[in-house]
Structure 1
């Protein structure tokens, strides 16, 4: 591992992963515990070289902060200054990273990140320009988080991370956003309980989480977390139309068991003449869209058919409940 770190520092200084004769020999042979810190450190150094403001989210630092138990991350979560997103994506592209194609399916929440992969690494970079749950302008939310940042060491390189209280709020919003999703329910529930107990054990962090949630317009989105911390008095939601729209999108997403809810919502909003077209696209997406939505689908028509059936079966199983949940959430939000 020490030799890998030494080689990685040379790689960072050279700014090109392709400096190795065979980059796969470095990245794909590593475990997740080794690869994620190295890729994160590389991204931090690349951002610094290009003057890009970037914060590292979740990952190994969450465990170092005592906000999550040790476990493997599957990607490097980064939050970049929204105004510098294109600049950083271009810099990553010159280092061999390519943007994963998006399926283009309807979503309940607006786009907030892009995933990048590299042929020499077994982990992705998940590059965010916004963190769902902060119901304010993306640039304003980043500025607030950036002004409270910390500098820590990861894989022998300095990186910027949010304050501990901001990190706790970010983790809570991540869990709450997917609280009804059918995958990894037990793990998320255990991590959420761990987070609540960790924050409650630190009175200063607990108080800051409440203050920061208010400052970042996250009192409503983080409401269950704040109540679990013992807070009960909250400001009334803003009457601003844009805030109201984003809050409703959050609540709709949170109430959904499966990604099929995006299609159900799209179908409900479509004019009568367009509904059949939406339904056909939902049931029979293009092969490119299907593979973008499920990168684990193998090559060949048989693997594609199996992937389509898995998706269709999940959709049929959850479509009715998704429709009811969306209708119930819309009615509650309107009342």
Structure 2
């Protein structure tokens, strides 16, 4: 701690302390701004009395001031503070686990936390300051026009702070900054968070956990959000260290005694003996907590019921039915006896389930109504058997009948929501594949889809001068963005890039007008389009330079994106539905849905990444994300935990434990 500054005039501190707290803090902000201007330092006033009234409503009075300082002006501002009589109580490196702030104290104005960066917004402190300051917003504090972030920036700061708040304001702050925001305002916050590298704490604190998987400092923010003890926080930091030097730095910091905090606790500068004693006590606590953590992780997990039935939505094979077979395989590998319940017509699913070695209850039914009636009758006879309803149709047919899981694979339309309210009655869990869908299904648990085991693609490097191959895998419909992709390729070719579009898939579930528009857009490309039909994803992805999944319609998941990750292929997605969620918080190539110009620009950046190495780096991160989030082993682990906890209260599974 630094010594006292210049003498304070007699009575000044006493007068200040008799002011209402809010008035004193506003005057303190004005004082700090005046000091900054005198030093030529740029600062932003954040949190507390500097907040927009919309966010501050009902929050109560703060206890101190907070300012964010431009990194280039930090030394000048700190020197000016000291010269104005502010005593330094803590130093930046020791102020917190983030090393982000130092505390200064004035006998007149109280304390100020001087931030050299803001936790969660610290990927590039200089750019973060400049982006937050760019709108030029100001608010009157103590008669001084003080620079503050605009409302979007303040929402972001409040949410990031809420992710590590231990003062009981978290729920209220999230509600004010996020719960009261419109969809447009939320999108603006998300865009700013993505731009400044703050998406991980934002999605965690707003209940969109899957978006955080694989992101920067993911485990640290998860630990903060669950108010973990200090040892768990250090372990989280160690897990987030991506290189050996980074891990060594974390360990070195963990070994050091925080002298600033020890001095505050003791009320004086610690002696060498007090530092040694604190060191031993610190590591005694850490060892005890670590033993508790390890003991909790080694606790046995129940396998689940001896038999479980899975009822299909349809008798033919679609995306939901593919996941039904994958789930059945996962349950069987975990030791459960599985019965697949399916209609006799169409009989594709029943046949595939038998070929996979599962017991099949094939009910005589042809058509949706007949299937629902047959399934309801079967369920009445087997009411005690746990039933996994793989879609809205079996969920509605068996509503209220015995122990059930309701598993939705599509975003429920407005017309389907009334049916869903009935279908979920009595269900032990309601599952959805993404946080995007969960946002429209209250109380749902996210169970992300996963792929089969896919190997890294062995691609032949593109020779100099050969045209880049842009690949699409899926249904050739307008909803999947094929028309937009064709127009984007046309834009690239008009700009002089000799790109080729390679299509794998066919036109299923399209419509007349949309089919015509897709055909016209593809026809305009002439021989620059290659149609492959339905091919194996591994084979197809090995043949393209960049894969593109530009859906217009909101995707409930985006399995093709997960397959591209597994194969280590660079890919572009649109921002439709859950596609950005699957791609991950650090994915660099996300275009606006339905916007061919945005798609063309994004594809161009991805192709440029093939030359500068960023595409290879993104593909490597994608493979790591697939291994952690969407691989078969992760899917089986999630199913095991889900079945084991069917009698527990409904809570989303923690992706950290996957």
| TM-score tier (shorter) | 0.5 to 0.7
Deviations 1:12-64 (A, max 9, x none): xxxx9856334322333333222211111110121122221110001123252
Say if 2:164 is the partner of 1:169: no
- Number of residue-to-residue matches in the alignment: 281
Q: 1 CA distance for matches of 2:66 and 2:95?
A: 23
Q: Between the two structures, name the one with larger relative contact order (CA 8 Å, sep ≥ 6).
A: 1
Q: 2 CA distance for matches of 1:112 and 1:192?
A: 22
Say if 2:78 is the partner of 1:89: yes
Deviation at 1:252, TM superposition (A): 4.4
Deviations 1:50-85 (A, max 9, x none): 221110001123252335424110110100101111
Structure 1 residue ranges without an equivalent (≥5): 1-15, 238-243, 270-277
Q: 1:290 to 1:95 in 2, by over 3 A?
A: closer
Partner of 1:13: none
Q: 2 CA distance for matches of 1:92 and 1:103?
A: 15
Partner of 1:98: 87
Partner of 2:9: 20
Say if 2:126 is the partner of 1:142: no
For residues 25-104 of structure 1, the aligned pairs below 5 Å read 25-62=14-51, 64-102=53-91
Conservation of the 8 A alpha-carbon contact between 1:169 and 1:213 = yes
Deviations 1:254-310 (A, max 9, x none): 4552334456679999xxxxxxxx9x979xx69x55544xx46668x9xx9xxx9xx
User: Please, what TM-score do these two structures have when normalized by structure 2?
Assistant: 0.36
Return the match for 1:111 from 80, 96, 99.
Answer: 99
Conservation of the 8 A alpha-carbon contact between 1:172 and 1:195 = yes
Return the match for 1:258 from 212, 215, 229.
Answer: 229
Q: Which has the higher strand share?
A: 2
Structure 2 residue ranges without an equivalent (≥5): 242-251, 299-627, 629-654
For residues 196-211 of structure 1, the aligned pairs below 5 Å read 196-200=178-182, 203-211=183-191
Q: Which has the higher helix share?
A: 1
Deviation at 1:217, TM superposition (A): 1.6
Q: 1:225 to 1:124 in 2, by over 3 A?
A: same
Secondary structure of 2:58's aligned partner: coil
Larger Cα-atom Rg: 2
Deviation at 1:220, TM superposition (A): 2.1
Conservation of the 8 A alpha-carbon contact between 1:17 and 1:23 = no
Conservation of the 8 A alpha-carbon contact between 1:145 and 1:166 = yes
Q: 1 CA distance for matches of 2:155 and 2:44?
A: 14
Conservation of the 8 A alpha-carbon contact between 2:223 and 2:236 = no
Deviation at 1:131, TM superposition (A): 0.9
Q: 1 CA distance for matches of 2:255 and 2:213?
A: 40
Deviation at 1:214, TM superposition (A): 1.6
Q: 2 CA distance for matches of 1:326 and 1:29?
A: 51
Q: 1:94 to 1:267 in 2, by over 3 A?
A: same
Partner of 1:190: 172
Q: 2 CA distance for matches of 1:139 and 1:325?
A: 43
Say if 2:91 is the partner of 1:120: no
Q: 1 CA distance for matches of 2:52 and 2:29?
A: 15
